[in-house]
Amino acid sequence: MPDAARPDLPPSFGVGQADQRIMLTTFLDEHRAAATAVLDGLTDEEARRSLVLSPTTVLGLVKHLTLVETIWFTELLLGSTRAELGLPATPAESFLLQDRDSVESVRHAHAEACARSRQAISGRALDEVITGHRFGPMTLGWILTHCIRETAQHVGHAEILREQILAARH
């Protein structure tokens, strides 16, 4: 973990010499935390606000990241089916908000999905080959790396939208 004398550093700075699994899971957990942090202090109306031409919203981005966690870990690693999980037909649909979606409900669903993801990788080796995905066989290490990339990308989008929302308050 980070040096206690440097509380300004994220946890990933404390794992620079750790094994690859610890590095990957620490980076992913940092991005997972950032995904829900973008919702902090936003009202439901603000989090639903569309500021770009696409249906992308801060709340929709976190909802999509819940789908990402569910597809890559619960569906692929635990063998649950899309029907059992109630997943949308396409990733694009996961950005769309329902009336029941709120900051708290989406935050809760994301936390549950991340907890299931951690459980799904428990005891698995990074070089374990996972089959059953439309892209073909891949290692757990690849899946973790892909999820870090996708989560970081969408958190960046959400942070920009959040900045616009907060700026509009003034």
CATH of the domain at 161: 1.20.120.450
CA angle 70-119-34, nearest 5°? 60
Query: Domain residues for 115?
Result: 42-168
Could you read off the pLDDT of 81-117 as tens digits, one per residue?
888 888 898 889 999 999 999 999 999 999 999 999 9
How many structural domains are present in the chain? Answer: 1
Q: Does the residue 70 lie in any domain?
A: yes
Report the residue count for the chain. 170
> Has this prediction a pTM greater than 0.85?
yes
**Burial tier of 130 (Cβ tally within 10 Å: 0-12, 13-18, 19+):** middle
Q: Does the residue 63 lie in any domain?
A: yes
Q: Does the residue 150 lie in any domain?
A: yes
Q: Report the share of the chain in percent with pLDDT over 70.
A: 89
User: Is there a contact between 12 and 131 (Cβ–Cβ < 8 Å)?
Assistant: no
For residue 155, give the nearest of 53, 28, 50 by alpha carbon: 28
Contacts of 128 (CB under 8 A, 6+ apart): 139, 140
Stretch 75-86: mean pLDDT: 86
Q: Does the residue 89 lie in any domain?
A: yes
